[in-house]
Chain A
């Protein structure tokens, strides 16, 4: 395992959790409420729209490989919206695209609509409006055809407590009308081996540890070769060892060419494995793209420690730097196009005594919190 980058600093998580809670308490935006309400009466022309889009896409081939026809994406949603009967708008006009072969990190605080989205993707919950396709097959009509290609872990493992692990997997396999019963025993053994549960064999499920349960759920997804694995919080509640095991497992699955869609409320959990991320906030997708694109959102800043802040501020302003902030003995500004060494030279030239100078970059975690939390000052 590669060393955990400083971005996963625990204090961030704490503040992130608090922000998320505030956001949940305060912020179901009234405007989007009305919007979704307007869609719900007539189911919109989702299929026609999707088909047109797919046909039009090749001609509009953009430099980015991600932007392709919906049929080429492992998951493509279009205005997916879910309003529960309680009136709660869980998912609001969600349009996301998961490229084939990617490891897609689906991020957001608890309660931001990730699980509801996943339930809709799998056909467990019917969208209020909008629709989606898996591998170009429209759901939920095509569920029988496409879901056998999809393995899933939804909101934690769930098995019969009075059955052993293998018996539970046999039950899952029996429910799959496209699975070959003659190979069931071999496939079950193989899946258990892949997740390292062979030894647990005869134990009843109720005697499993949380990590074992989680791994058994992943094994259920591996009963047959899959084109897509949808994993909802696969490391939830696991200790660091368990987390590492699951992460390694996901890497292995992805290495086999399976598209992996993994949700988490912790960026640190997925940033090491995912090629793409989507960030949810209060039911809306606030960012979708590669990790590099997420990093690119960060505007570099320069930070100067000096006993002469007034002069320094003048110099920085003179250079045309934006967003100049002063804080006891420290002054910072957006770097823009300037190079830090040039700025330093100008400061010194102007007689500013520079005690220290650096260009802090926000960690991914900070960016993530900025996206998902309300009014969090990244550089504060």
Chain B
């Protein structure tokens, strides 16, 4: 492995909170530190993506856009202008199925998947008792947490990309695909449209990443994964409910879920970064705060499980 490889390899986890602290008196580590990070990161990804439960979750995530596409196809056999607007859009251009799927799944299904995996991240290890063995290896508490969050972010991106990709494929199979008409009324090429879809997908993943940080933090407070998962879902749903009550409009911008759907700007010509920027800022702040909470808790807590 060349030095360049190593540098790239170390990047995903290295972007996380104060990694240097994990080393403690890390006398024993060698130049292969980046490789050691990558190794545990890969092991972590293996745990997430090879676990039957998570594979089933991903399968559900993939099935929903397909079912939506099939339903729309069945619902729109004849001409246009009879169903709701989105139906016309999707029927006119299969690419819109991807936007539709992301929007629909963002309210419950995607958060559910993120809640399950992030709530399980530390609490699951604690509940199994594997946490004590990881820590006596020693994996290093900060290092383990950073790698856990890195793997969670990867899972968030994977979920959103999966939904987009499956929806796109379904849309392309069931409906015509062509140049994309944006919200601003401009029509851009299919390639540009797909780029926009990628940006929207990553934006949604960023929102899920913030939720994953909340999940990680909650997960450090319990050894019952199911309790952590439930708590994360309650937070997400409560936030969405509050966001729909006009009387609470003062707090709306500060709710973790408020900016999840604010990717309209990415579908305008030129791209309106205002709301999108606010959203990303909100996600970033949530991620930083809750990673800090997780770190403070996890590096000081007694492991008695």
Stretch from A144-152, A252-260, A295-303, A350-358 that touches the partner: A144-152
Which residues of chain B in 112-141 are interfacial with respect to chain A, using CB atoms and an 8 Å cutoff?
128-130, 132-140
In the complex, the answer to whether B300 meets A126 with C-beta atoms within 8 Å is: yes
Task: State the majority secondary structure of interface residues on A.
Answer: loop
Q: How far is the CA of A140 from the CA of B303 in the complex (A)?
A: 13
Q: Report the minimum CB–CB distance from A129 to chain B (whole Å).
A: 14
Given the complex of chains A and B, what is the CA–CA distance between A46 and B269 in angstroms?
A: 66
CB pair A145 B300 closer than 8 Å: no
Q: Is the CB of A175 within 8 A of B26?
A: no
Are A144 and B23 in contact (CB-based, < 8 A)? yes
Contact with B along A157-172 (1 / 0, CB 8 A): 0111110000000111
Q: Name the distance in Å between B28's Cβ and chain A's nearest Cβ.
A: 4
In the complex, whether A33 has a CB less than 8 A from a CB of chain B is no
A-side contacts of B136, CB under 8 Å: 122-124, 147, 150, 152, 154
Please tell me if B189 contacts chain A, counting CB pairs below 8 Å: no
Q: Are B25 and A145 in contact (CB under 8 A)?
A: yes
A189 to B25, CA, bound (A): 30
Partner of A119, one of B36, B42, B52, B304: B304
The answer to whether A177 touches B140, judged by C-beta atoms less than 8 angstroms apart, is yes
Complex formed: what's the CA distance from A66 to B244 in Å?
A: 71
Q: How does the 8 Å CB contact mask read for A130-151 relative to B, with 1 for contact and 0 for none? A: 0000000100111111011010
Residues B129 and A156 in contact, CB atoms below 8 Å apart: yes
A148 with B28: CB separation less than 8 A: yes
Q: Which residues, 80 to 125 on A, are CB-close (under 8 Å) to B?
A: 84, 119, 122-125
Chain B CB within 8 A of A178 CB: yes
- Bound-state Cα–Cα, A117 to B26, Å: 24
Q: Does A12 contact B (CB under 8 A)?
A: no
Name the residue on B nearest A157 (C-beta).
B129
B51 at the interface (CB under 8 A from A): yes
Closest residue of chain A to B28, judged by CB? A178
The one of B24, B28, B32 in contact with A141, judged by C-beta atoms closer than 8 angstroms, is B24
Chain B neighbourhood of A44, CB < 8 A: none
Interchain CA distance A199-B128 in the complex, whole Å: 25
Partner of B129, one of A145, A147, A155: A155
Q: Are B28 and A144 in contact, with the CB atoms below 8 A?
A: yes
Chain A, interface size category, equals 35 or more
Most buried by A among B23, B26, B138, B302: B138
Q: How far does the Cβ of A233 sit from chain B's closest Cβ, in whole Å? A: 14
Which residues of the other chain, A, contact B29 by a CB distance below 8 angstroms?
144, 177-178
Which A residues are in CB contact (< 8 Å) with B35? Answer: 181
Say yes or no: B302 contacts A124, CB within 8 Å. yes
User: Residue on A with the closest CB to B29?
Assistant: A177
In the bound complex, how far is the Cα of B27 from the Cα of A171, in angstroms? 22
Do the beta carbons of B24 and A142 come within 8 Å of each other?
A: yes
Q: Is the CB of B33 within 8 A of A177?
A: yes
Residue interface bits B143-175, CB-to-A below 8 A is 1, else 0: 110000000000000000000000000000000
Question: B39 near A: Cβ within 8 Å?
Answer: yes
Dominant secondary structure of chain B at its interface with chain A: helix
**Do A160 and B128 touch (CB < 8 A)?**
yes
> Chain B: which residue is nearest A168 at the CB level?
B130
Question: A235-252 CB contact bits vs B (8 Å, 1 = yes)?
Answer: 000000000000000000
Q: Is the CB of A176 within 8 A of B25?
A: no
Contact of B43 among A137, A143, A155, A175 (CB under 8 A): A175
Cα distance A181–B27 when bound, in Å? 19
Contact A174 B39 (CB under 8 A): yes
Determine the chain A residues whose CB is within 8 A of the CB of B138 once the complex forms.
123, 143-144, 147-148, 175-176
Which residues of chain A are near B130, meaning CB under 8 Å? 158-160
Q: Is the CB of B26 within 8 A of A160?
A: no
- B40 interface residue (CB < 8 Å to A): yes
Which of the residues B37, B137, B143, B144 comes within 8 Å of A147, measured between beta carbons?
A: B137
B43 and A158 within 8 A (CB): no
B303, A119: Cβ atoms closer than 8 Å = yes
Evaluate whether A123 and B27 lie within 8 angstroms (CB atoms) in the complex, with A155-B129, A177-B140, A177-B143 already known. Answer: no
Residues from 157 to 210 in A contacting B, C-beta threshold 8 Å = 158-162, 170-172, 174-181
- Asked if B133 and A145 make an inter-chain contact with CB atoms under 8 angstroms apart, the answer reads no
Q: Which residues in B have their C-beta under 8 angstroms from that of A147?
A: 136-138
Q: Which residues of A contact B42 (CB under 8 A)?
A: 174
Q: Which of B208-249 contact A (CB under 8 A)?
A: none
Pairwise interchain contact B27-A177, C-beta atoms closer than 8 A: no
CB pair A175–B134 under 8 Å, yes or no, is: yes
B183 proximal to A (CB < 8 A): no
- The residue of chain A having its C-beta at the shortest distance from the C-beta of B43 within the complex is A174
* Residues on B with beta carbons closer than 8 Å to the beta carbon of A220: 133
Using a CB–CB distance below 8 Å, which chain B residues touch chain A?
22-30, 32-33, 35-37, 39-40, 42-43, 47, 51-52, 128-130, 132-140, 143-144, 300, 302-304
Q: List 9 A-B contacts (CB under 8 A).
A: A84-B302, A137-B25, A141-B24, A145-B25, A155-B132, A162-B52, A170-B43, A175-B40, A178-B30
5 smallest beta-carbon distances between A and B, as pairs: A158-B129, A177-B36, A174-B43, A175-B139, A144-B24
